[in-house]
Each structure stands twice: as structure tokens, then as C-alpha cells.
Chains A and B, each alone.
Chain A
Amino acid sequence: GAVVSQHPSRVICKSGTSVKIECRSLDFQATTMFWYRQFPKKSLMLMATSNEGSKATYEQGVEKDKFLINHASLTLSTLTVTSAHPEDSSFYICSARGLAGRGRGYEQYFGPGTRLTVT
């Protein structure tokens, strides 16, 4: 239980294009999903928090127009990196938290991550 998937696992795109990353909670309803960015050998940096049906809350310094987050259902959130540039290359990880069953309360369950490379 408490499985979170991400798709794609790896993507290479050209500078200036947009990339969409999907995050799905497979066996529970995720009322809240979080998006993180992780640089090599570094900790996780929270980018934004999204609640189903409402606008995402972005952390200070994260450009909301560049990193578009949509949480349209209780099992799906998407992160779109718009007009990607090489400096956006990173490991993007989502997590999900629900209110019932596994994922109750504070527990966050993480996806496997998406490696984005912008050339």
C-alpha cells in the first residue's frame, strides 16, 4: 500500500520546450501532493504544495509561471516545466499524503523521481 508513481522516470528535452511530469497515488486518495527538487548529493528542496481542486502554494524563490502545478484529482498531480533551460535540469520528486488509510496524517509517500535533462 501507499504507492506513488511518477511518469516519465527520465526525460531529455531541448531548451525552450515544456515538459510535463505526472505524479499518481495508486492505492490511496492524496488530498495533498508535494513537489520537490533534488540536486546531486543534496537534500530535498520543497518547490510547492498542491491540494486537490485548489491552486498550488509555491515556496519562496520558486517561479510559479515556470513550474505549473495542477492537482485535478485525488490521485493525480502534474508539474509542467515551461520553457525549460539547462539550469532546470534536476531530479524532480513528488510525494503524496492522504487522510484515510495509509498516508494518514503527516505521512508522505514519495514517488520514484523524474530525471530531467535539458540540452
Chain B
Amino acid sequence: QQQVKQSPQSLIVQKGGIPIINCAYENTAFDYFPWYQQFPGKGPALLIAIRPDVSEKKEGRFTISFNKSAKQFSLHIMDSQPGDSATYFCAAAGENAGGTSYGKLTFGQGTILTVHP
């Protein structure tokens, strides 16, 4: 019940394309859903996050879509660039998420995105 399932494992798009990465969760106590971007040999960087009271959030070229009833959320990258090539992780956290400590993140498995020029 603590898992966050992320797909696809890897994704290749052409420059300008719109890669979409999907995540699904089971624990209804989760109420915070961030996305992180990680480059090789670096720590993850917080990209964008959403809470269940909204269905969509956009920051620059990054958009999160959230479907509370389906317990799914996804990341869309508009006008993707080669510099967006990285590993993307979704995560989830909740104040009362089944006994986990406050705000502890549960990560998805990661998606390796490659954007070809």
C-alpha cells in the first residue's frame, strides 16, 4: 500500500515532443505529490509538486495532471529539449500515511528520459 508505481521505465522523444510519465498510488492518505529531476551523479531537484485539491498544476514547461479518483498523477514536459534528458522520479507523502513518519517520501521507480535533438 506504500508503493508508488511509475511508468514507463524509459522514454525517448524528439526535441519539441511532449513526454508523459505516469504514476499510480494506493494509499489514500497521500496528499502531496512531487516530481524530481535527477542528472547523472547529482542529487534530485524538486521540479513541481501538487496537492489533491487541484487537478492540474503548471510551472513553465512542466505540468502535473492529478486524478484523485483514479489515484494517478502524471508529468507532462512541453516542448522538450535535449537538456531535459534526465531521470525523473515521482513521489508521494502524507501526514497520516499509514504510520510513516510525517512527510516521508515514497518514490516511484524512475523514468529515464532521452530527448533527441
Binding site for B on A (CB under 8 A): 4, 6, 32, 34, 41-44, 46, 49, 57, 91, 93, 95, 97, 105-113, 115
- The answer to whether A113 touches B43 (Cβ under 8 A) is yes
How many A-B contacts are there with CB distance less than 8 Å?
Answer: 56
If A43-B89, A43-B109, A44-B107 touch, whether A57 touches B101 (CB-CB below 8 Å) is: yes
Instruction: Give the segment of B34-42, B53-61, B68-76, B77-85 that binds chain A.
Output: B34-42
How far, in Å, is B30 (CB) from chain A's closest CB? Answer: 10
Query: What string of 1s and 0s marks CB contacts (under 8 Å) between B97-114 and chain A?
Result: 000011111011110100
Count B-side interface residues using an 8 Å CB cutoff: 22
Binding site for A on B (CB under 8 A): 32, 34, 36, 41-46, 49, 89, 93, 101-105, 107-110, 112
Residues in chain B near residue A42, CB distance under 8 A: 109-110
- The answer to whether A107 touches B49 (Cβ under 8 A) is yes
11 A-B pairs (CB sep. < 8 Å): A32-B102, A32-B103, A43-B107, A44-B107, A46-B105, A91-B41, A106-B103, A110-B46, A112-B42, A113-B42, A113-B43
